[in-house]
Copies of this chain bind each other. A is one copy, B any other.
């Protein structure tokens, strides 16, 4: 297979979109971010990378807390809106209904099936982006998505995915069990 060299490009998608939340001037604000990922499991730690100009960053810098809220695909209009419009110009506090857990400066979105609150344990700048490393304090999930045994079903969570071609996608079909299907390699080889 011939390879095309595209130079220094971030061609690595899709990622789940999150509504990155903080409290600024006593109001919740949410901005739509795709630069989010897991850093560690114990302690549960994630990062969000958000441009230094973003309104949400103000509250994170001030309170050293933030939230990430995972919208389902039915929230695509509201989620995209929060990525187009800045809190510097418009009050986005009423786009979603907000509640709070332990941390009163990490606003959580009722309409989103998964909500995570974090305390900042590290922050640094990369190319105009502020990277906030957050230790997860609490994780809330819609009760009807939590099975009695096992883990929440990602198909039911129906996360909104964002891709390199500037489109949103759904998650597709299940292919295989992780840490299991690989055992077939030896047979195959």
User: Which A residues are closer than 8 A to B by beta carbons?
Assistant: 1-16, 18, 34-47, 49, 68, 70, 73, 76-85, 95, 99, 101, 110-111, 114-116, 121-122, 124, 126-129, 131, 133, 135-144, 146, 150-154, 159-185, 188
On whether A178 and B115 interact (CB within 8 A), knowing A42-B128, A49-B39, the answer reads no
A-B contact sample (14 more), CB < 8 A, given A10-B136, A47-B47, A154-B163: A1-B143, A3-B110, A4-B140, A4-B141, A6-B139, A10-B46, A11-B116, A39-B131, A40-B129, A45-B126, A76-B176, A80-B179, A168-B178, A169-B173
When distances are taken between beta carbons in the complex, the residues of chain B under 8 Å from A81 are 182-183, 185
Contact of A136 (CB < 8 Å), options: B2, B9, B150, B185? B9
